[in-house]
């Protein structure tokens, strides 16, 4: 069973991506689905996920 969650900026409220993956699995960058195809910039290992609107 997959879960879905919005990745929302706490500063401006913009939804930059959606997190999709199996329940109970550790979170990793491959689980992120950008809100548009133009926003395909995903963080590398150890890098924080930044807001695509306010940075």
Q: For the whole model, what pTM was predicted? A: 0.60
Question: How much is the pLDDT for 45?
Answer: 73
Any domain includes 19: yes
Nearest to 42 by CA among 54, 53, 31: 31
Question: How much is the pLDDT for 21?
Answer: 92
Question: How much is the pLDDT for 22?
Answer: 93
Any domain includes 11: yes
Nearest to 8 by CA among 35, 28, 38: 35
Any domain includes 49: no
Question: How much is the pLDDT for 19?
Answer: 87
- Unique residue bearing structure tokens 């069973």: 1
Q: Per residue in 4-55, pLDDT tens?
A: 988 888 889 888 888 899 998 888 778 878 776 555 566 677 777 777 778 7
Total count of domains within the chain: 1
């Amino acid at each position: 069973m997959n879960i879905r969650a919005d990745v929302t900026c706490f500063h401006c409220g913009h939804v930059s991506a959606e997190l999709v993956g199996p329940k109970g699995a550790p979170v990793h960058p491959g689980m992120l689905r950008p809100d548009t195809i133009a926003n395909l910039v995903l963080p590398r290992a150890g890098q924080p996920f930044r807001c695509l609107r306010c940075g």
